[in-house]
Amino acid sequence: MEKEEATINNLFGYRLFQSSIKDYKKINKKITPLIEKFVKEKPGRFATTTDINGKETSTSFDGPDAMDNLHIRPEYNDLFQELNKHIVAYIQALGYDLKKFNINIVKAWSTYTAKDQHIALHRHTASHFSTVYYVRADDMGDLQIEEEQGAKLGLYIPPTDQYFSSWNKFNFASYIIKAETGKFVIFPSTLMHKTLDNTKDKQRISISSDILLTMKEGVSAEHCIPHPKGWRSI
């Protein structure tokens, strides 16, 4: 090297997917009444929770009649046909050999977020990837991704203004994804995430899902989940 050169490489970043959905207005017009009808008819399946500060968070579905299987309900086929295209493209872009893996949507549910409500900070621990599709969301509480960056910085302290003089791509601890009607987001399930408060009078509607990769039947690998045909419930 003739002159001194220095670089800083940002290694091993998370892969976050964002896209709009084709014909989302037509799809939303069909599924919005379905969700609202379910809420009206099944109030007992409607569970409002609070966060660690005692603040009311979003309302989701719970119990034996819960709508946590939207991905296999015929009335949602048009939506998931579009979502599935993006899911496959995302996982292929990550380099997975789909001759060896099955992509399984194991759960899909709807969430209502009323005015001044939010979804508390959490992660999905029983899947590889998680998704959210916004049915009605414009200016109704953005999605915030968070990470404990201290360890990556060689520190065991949270990155705050107390310790850092500026924010950049090497030390930021949160990332805001604007919630927009018709937007679809995919991210690794291990990422901590939450939503900001809904400041509108209308309820925000989103549909989330969890994705699990398993090996195809007849394919095995030591560190991967085998095909369900080889499982046995006890």
Q: Who's near 36: CB < 8 A, 6+ residues apart?
A: none
Alpha-carbon separation of residue 187 from 7, 54, 200 (angstroms): 28, 28, 26
Nearest alpha-carbon partner for 124 in 50, 206, 209, 225: 209
What is the model's pLDDT at position 77? 96
Alpha-carbon separation of residue 96 from 66, 90, 159 (angstroms): 32, 10, 33
Which one-letter DSSP state was computed for residue 69? B
Report the C-alpha gap between 135 and 182 in whole angstroms: 6
Domains, in order of start, for the chain: 17-142+178-217 (2.60.120.620)
E strand or H helix that includes residue 109: strand 101-113
Q: What is the pTM of this model?
A: 0.85
What is the model's pLDDT at position 177? 93
What is the model's pLDDT at position 111? 86
Judged by phi (left if over 0) then psi (alpha if -120 to 50, else beta), residue 54 lies in left
Q: Partners of 56 in the beta sheet?
A: 50
What is the model's pLDDT at position 50? 56
What is the model's pLDDT at position 149? 55
Which one-letter DSSP state was computed for residue 75? G
Task: Encode pLDDT of 164-193 as tens digits.
Answer: 777 777 777 788 999 999 999 999 999 889
Judged by phi (left if over 0) then psi (alpha if -120 to 50, else beta), residue 95 lies in left
Which residues of the chain have a pLDDT value below 70?
1-3, 42-66, 148-161
Locate 46 and state its tokens.
């409607």
Contact 143, 179 (CB under 8 A): yes
